[in-house]
Amino acid sequence: MAKYAKDTDVPVSRSKLHIERLLTDWGIEEYFFGTSSRGDGIGFKFSDKTYKLSVPVANDCSEKTRRQMWRILFMSLKMKLEEIDAGLITFEDQFLSQMALPNGSTVGQFMKLPENIALLNKSEMPLMLTA
């Protein structure tokens, strides 16, 4: 289990508010928060591309765990944007794996498909995204 924010009393709603402020400070005006059977998450649009970040918690997890996971997401997002702002990495490189593809999956999910992993293990390129 993660150690950061394990005893936080910051409500999920406040972490979401902090994320919202962080995104708007970056000029990101299109974003959403969601909940599904796979967990919670956020999505946002930047430079005409959509990005999705997950908070993989079970629907039956404790409120304490949900608070911790949302706090970790906020701090992670904040640090990623700080790295970009400092010129250590580009936005595109920082968030490439979370970029949404036309079918709703992300680049990271596509690259983790068994057939793509097998190709990479053989030092071969995965098929194009449109194949």
pLDDT of residue 130: 53
d(CA 27, CA 33): 17
d(CA 121, CA 128): 17
Q: What is the mean pLDDT of each run of 10 residues along the chain (131 residues)?
A: 86 96 95 87 95 84 90 96 97 96 92 90 78 49
* Phi, psi dihedrals of residue 90, rounded to the nearest 5°: -85, 160
d(CA 98, CA 50): 8
Query: Helix, strand, or coil here: 129?
Result: coil
pLDDT of residue 129: 60
Strand pairing partners for 44?
Answer: 31, 51
- pTM score, two decimals? 0.87
Pick from 33, 70, 40: which is nearest to 54 by CA? 40
